[in-house]
Structure 1
Amino acid sequence: MATVFLCLSNQFSSPKPTTPRFSQSKNFMYQTSLANPNPWQVICAMSSQFTQMTQHNGRRSANYQQSHWKFEFLQCLGNDVKHVQMENLEERARKVEEEVRRMINGADTEALRLLELIDEIQRLGLTYKFEKDIFKALEKTISLDENEKHISGLHATALSFRLLRQHGFEVSQDVFKRFKDKEGGFINELKGDMQGLLSLYEASYLGFEGETLLDEARAYSITHLKNNLKVGVNTEVKEQVSHALELPYHRGLNRLEARWFLEKYEPNESHHHILLELAKIDFNLVQVMYQKELRELSRWWSEMGLTSKLKFVRDRLMEVYFWVLGMAPRPQFSECRKAVTKTFALIGIIDDVYDVYGTLDELQLFTDAIERWDVNAMNTLPDYMKLCYLAVYNTVNDTCYSTLKAKGHNNMSYLTKSWCELCKAFLQEAKWSNNKIVPTFSKYLENASVSSSGLVRSSSNIFRLCNDLATSAAELETGETANSITCYMHEKDTSEEQAREELTNLIDAEWKKMNREFVSNSTLPKAFKEIAINMARVSHCMYQYEDGLGRPGYTTENKIKLLLIDPVPIN
């Protein structure tokens, strides 16, 4: 269903996003930080680390924990807006934006300082406001000769390399050859250069397949960054390095990274006051837009009533919206976010029907009904499936109507085909589990794969692999036999530890394919490519430490709180 999102993103996007007004909420008393998080109480139905399976009336139930995010709470988000105050802030933001634009386009700014300014803008989540200016500035740095660039050091070279590749420029890994010695290793002088090593580390994650120099750069930088941390560095550098080693910037969720960087940028004495001011205002204004979308979506979800009628399914609207937001954070994708949140929320329900509750005969009937795409097909289904079928049928039809009305595109055949393919894939996994069959690793991935561009296929594979790394133990408890880890262990006769290591290597390989595709494929719109890569990023975010969709714990809730509930303090 990944391609559903990408299709809708082009057709729901608006070139002129409207920015909502924002006011500080008096209700949000708890300030959360990525660096110093405040855990809050989670009501959980799990009696162990993973959900326990139970039987009721001959049916299985996964006993999923209830949603922490109540309807009444979501309806209150962003409701205390002070219009007059925010009109002044919006006007201030427009003026500051022009000042930042002049900074980027300054004729006398040296190349390294310009690159560092672009990096700060990007890390603060403001790239979407200055894309044309950034592109021109990067073109300018390419045209300069080495004497004019003043970027002979490792930090400058690595920063330039990373920014150019992130923005789609062709740049060779050979720029790092001059930092190698005669024996082929990196020169000794680099070992203590923390800024250079950190920039090299971040740049190495922009590598393509076959770029062994960047593979060596990653291993070298990780080794010496960790060694230097053991020896001792100042607190600011330690926080930056530790955060990067946890997950490189290129694989991090952009909006979450912006929130983290905001907290670290302000205490830095060399920060740009104007840039910081704009970043704070923009973060809060956009957050209120997200809150408005959540209020609308929670009303739709409540009216749908599936989680109250079907006790065996997950209620994960907030987590699904967070996922979708991670894929398409730009303000102009508001309609896209709402449409795809509805789609993904329903996918979660249908996934639970296939994984947990439905019999094989019922699942076959449901798959056939989806393939027919006829409202009368629901008459063949048991009552609980009629609710599911009609929810999917009506939501897809409403989405197609909205797209046709707004953009003149008819998506019906595409979306119904996608739902049919999804249900067939779910059915195949259900057959494997019911018959206690462990398929080959390649067959398992093929069943879960997406028929689309290489970029989307790689991103979808990363999602599948990250998901399995986080959920395999819980899935075994529910009786599922097919996931990446078990299939690989069974086929290769290896340990779980070896299987996990191989899956991690496969994730790296898919990232390299995506990096190449992003730079070399000029036929795909940039927004399309960005959303595809963001799906891989949100997969890392949601599954790095827990199953953030199926069994969200404190880590996921903390991230949601930072992006969707707690505003950035503004003096």
Structure 2
Amino acid sequence: FIDKNGNIGSTDATSLLGLYNAAYLRTHGEKILDIAMSSTKKILKSIVNHLDPTIADEIRHHLETPLFRGTNRVETKRYISTYEKNSTRNETILEFAKLDYNLVQGLYCDELKDLTIWWNGFDIQTHLTWARDRMVEIHFWMMGVLFEPHYSYPRVVLTKLFTLVSVFDDFYDNYSTTEESNMFTTAINRWDEHAVEHAPAYMRPFYKGTVASINQIEEDLKLQKNKHAELVKKLFIDAANCYHAEVKWRDQKYVPANLEEHLKISAPSTICMQISNIAFLLMGDITSSETIQWAWAYPTIIRAVCIIARVMNDIVSHEREQASEHMVSTVQTCMNENGCTVEEANEKLNEVVEQAWMDICESCIQPTAHPLAVLSRVANLARVTDFLYKHDDGYTLGYSVKGTLDSVYVHPMDV
């Protein structure tokens, strides 16, 4: 690819795209891959409008989302459609791929049906009208982490847990007073039917439903002989405490001195550690107690996905959240630290995201006591988070990802 002068010598679009995608597996200090990535990106952008429409569409897609960072089920359907246009396609393989996709899509829809029945029991549209009601988006998020058909039960449990956590997020971040957040946190940490009296009155039905649901999940896991069953509740309580910590910083008017300090305190409230760790324990015997404790300590790969989530969320929601009282964002902190504009801060923050992706790649390829099947869940979480926050807050503003959700859940492939 590279000539004696260090320039990319190839002009073949398919080869250039392959090198471009491979370069995104770079780790820290891999200068050759840094050059390959920037050079191939520049060349591909310059030739894309002069290519056959099929390869041109492929290049445009990967210029936006490199192959390694794609969300599995989104990429699966897109690739099947691309393969179908290939004149050398194998019709039998194509048919089986479509049938498989449709069967898995049906499974996801069955899960959503059961989840919707469960969630309707909370009746939040009556009791908690301020909370985001995003069942499909959360299932998509958790499906991004555990997409395989045999992980149906873990996927359902993750979706239940983080549908509840989403209400926590809205309660602590947007709705509760300081006193109410203190009361609710006290009740969550006590975790029993008598503690409901410590919660604000309007949160008591939700508190009771939450405790009952998680206690039931714990009992189900014990029946499955899952040795980590009791940790689900502890991780869930930890999520509430992370949100409550941000309320205290907000009320103290705490302003981090720099971006590094900000991320040290704000990354945990992305709840990516809890999502990853609960995904690990739901995978069963493949996950050891050592892996759970390792993840709880925010090792490099967990911290990396937390940073990706925090920074990308802040970039797309910065303007909207200026209208309400929030803890200072990473965008504001970066602007203050560097004396720069929003656009310049976003550029610097995008580089922080790139560094975090390198941490993920490095963690996945280095020898470790933790199986790749487990580590890949963290990479999957980064992938689906990247998708949801790439252009907008796809979770809060669900219409921005509606086309993809329709494709994944509603529209089967023609067979």
TM-score using structure 1 length: 0.65
CA contact (8 A) 2:186 2:198 kept: no
1:419 and 1:408 mapped to 2: Cα distance?
Answer: 17
Query: Which of the numbers 81, 92, 95 marks the counterpart of 1:274?
Result: 92
CA deviation after TM superposition for structure 1 residue 297, in Å: 0.3
**Mapping of residues 479-518 of structure 1, within 5 Å:** 479-518=325-364
Q: Aligned AA for 2:348?
A: E
- Cα deviations across residues 500-521 of structure 1 (Å, max 9, x unaligned)? 1111111111111111111114
Where in structure 1 are there 5+ consecutive unaligned residues?
A: 1-153, 155-178
CA deviation after TM superposition for structure 1 residue 410, in Å: 4.2
**Mapping of residues 7-406 of structure 1, within 5 Å:** 154=1, 179-181=2-4, 183=5, 185-187=6-8, 189-190=9-10, 192-230=11-49, 232-406=50-224
Q: Aligned AA for 2:405?
A: I
1:494 and 1:351 mapped to 2: Cα distance?
Answer: 30
CA contact (8 A) 2:309 2:382 kept: yes
- Cα deviations across residues 190-212 of structure 1 (Å, max 9, x unaligned)? 2x221121111000001111111
Where in structure 2 are there 5+ consecutive unaligned residues?
A: 274-296
Q: Aligned AA for 2:193?
A: V
Aligned structure 1 segments of 4 or more residues deviating by more than 4 angstroms: none
- Cα deviations across residues 416-455 of structure 1 (Å, max 9, x unaligned)? 3323332222123223334544334333322223433322
Matched residue of 1:419: which SS? helix
Match of 1:420 in 2: 237
Q: Aligned AA for 2:219?
A: Y
Q: Aligned AA for 2:225?
A: K
1:524 and 1:435 mapped to 2: Cα distance?
Answer: 39
TM-score using structure 2 length: 0.89
Matched residue of 1:313: which SS? coil
Match of 1:567 in 2: 412
2:162 and 2:32 mapped to 1: Cα distance?
Answer: 40
CA contact (8 A) 1:306 1:387 kept: no
Whichever structure has more helix as a proportion of its residues is 2
In the superposition, relative to structure 1, how do residues 286 and 198 fare at CA in structure 2: closer, same or farther (>3 Å)? same
Higher RCO (Cα < 8 Å, 6 or more apart): 1
Kindly tell me the number of residue pairs found equivalent between the two proteins.
386
1:180 and 1:268 mapped to 2: Cα distance?
Answer: 31
CA contact (8 A) 1:370 1:419 kept: no
Match of 1:460 in 2: 306
2:205 and 2:367 mapped to 1: Cα distance?
Answer: 42
Query: Which of the numbers 364, 370, 374 marks the counterpart of 1:524?
Result: 370
1:498 and 1:429 mapped to 2: Cα distance?
Answer: 26
Query: Which of the numbers 411, 423, 432 marks the counterpart of 2:249?
Result: 432
Match of 2:294 in 1: none
- Cα deviations across residues 13-67 of structure 1 (Å, max 9, x unaligned)? xxxxxxxxxxxxxxxxxxxxxxxxxxxxxxxxxxxxxxxxxxxxxxxxxxxxxxx
CA deviation after TM superposition for structure 1 residue 491, in Å: 3.0
1:224 and 1:340 mapped to 2: Cα distance?
Answer: 42
- Cα deviations across residues 345-373 of structure 1 (Å, max 9, x unaligned)? 01111111111111101111211222222
Matched residue of 1:477: which SS? coil
CA contact (8 A) 2:184 2:199 kept: yes
Larger Rg: 1
- Cα deviations across residues 380-401 of structure 1 (Å, max 9, x unaligned)? 2221121232232222211111
CA deviation after TM superposition for structure 1 residue 253, in Å: 0.6
* % identical equivalent positions: 29
1:405 and 1:452 mapped to 2: Cα distance?
Answer: 30
- Cα deviations across residues 462-516 of structure 1 (Å, max 9, x unaligned)? 1222211221222222221322211222233322112111111111111111111
